[in-house]
Chain A
Amino acid sequence: DTAVSQTPKYLVTQMGNDKSIKCEQNLGHDTMYWYKQDSKKFLKIMFSYNNKELIINETVPNRFSPKSPDKAHLNLHINSLELGDSAVYFCASSRSQGMSETQYFGPGTRLLVL
């Protein structure tokens, strides 16, 4: 059983296209996150939801829009893809938004924009 799953695992697309990445967790957690990892492995938070409410919204282009239909799902939609969006996107979840909570990461979605 995969605790945090993401689809697709790989995504190759042209500049200007719109794409979505889906994330699901079966851990019963109420907090979920999206991170972007660049080519130098630097990991940066983009968004976080707690009980379907947005609690972290970092300075990312408004072409990126997260959606949480329920506590177990957090999707990421990206409009008008640009070359600089190429990265690995990780979804994560934690039991709560408490500061001591461990985050559980998905396997990542490798996005390449051509």
Chain B
Amino acid sequence: AQSVTQLDSQVPVFEEAPVELRCNYSSSVSVYLFWYVQYPNQGLQLLLKYLSGSTLVKGINGFEAEFNKSQTSFHLRKPSVHISDTAEYFCAVRGGGFKTIFGAGTRLFVKA
């Protein structure tokens, strides 16, 4: 079975500052890892995903994430955030079976 832990429920940050949203996972098999973003009153959309190969994955809107197998982490980063990045961010894992397991979400709040 897989599980996902998002270590911060809320992350407030000033506009143009860097941000890191932390995600740890647990699995006994190889996994695929995803970050989804949910803007207010909308469905989720994919930011990026790690399947294999390079451990640094680049996604949309300037986000990137690094897969660290030894630390079982998949942290999301952005060097400079905008007000429009305010949203809920979900880390997700899939490995074996048909289910995608989502973390509890991290609310990123960007302040002017």
Q: Show the binding face of A for B, using Cβ within 8 Å.
A: 4, 40-45, 48, 50, 55-56, 90, 92, 97, 99-100, 102-108
Interchain CB contact under 8 A, A102 and B32: no
Interchain CB contact under 8 A, A105 and B104: no
A42 CB contact (under 8 Å) in B32, B38, B104 = B104
Bound-complex Cα distance A22 to B42 (A): 17
Interchain CB contact under 8 A, B90 and A43: yes
A56 CB contact (under 8 Å) in B38, B44, B99, B107 = B99
How many B residues are at the interface, by size bracket?
A: 20 to 34
If A43-B105, A92-B43 are given as contacts, then 6 extra A-B residue pairs at C-beta distance below 8 Å, sorted by A number, are A4-B43, A45-B99, A90-B43, A99-B94, A104-B45, A108-B43
A41 CB contact (under 8 Å) in B42, B49, B100, B104 = B104
Q: Show the binding face of B for A, using Cβ within 8 Å.
A: 32, 34, 36, 38, 41-46, 49, 51, 88, 90, 94-96, 98-100, 102, 104-105, 107
B49 CB contact (under 8 Å) in A44, A56, A100, A106 = A100
A45-B99, A99-B94, A100-B32 as given contacts; A90 in contact with B44, CB under 8 Å: yes
| 5 interchain pairs, CB-CB under 8 A | A45-B99, A102-B46, A105-B43, A108-B41, A108-B42
Contacts of A55 in B (CB 8 A): 98
Bound-complex Cα distance A32 to B39 (A): 22
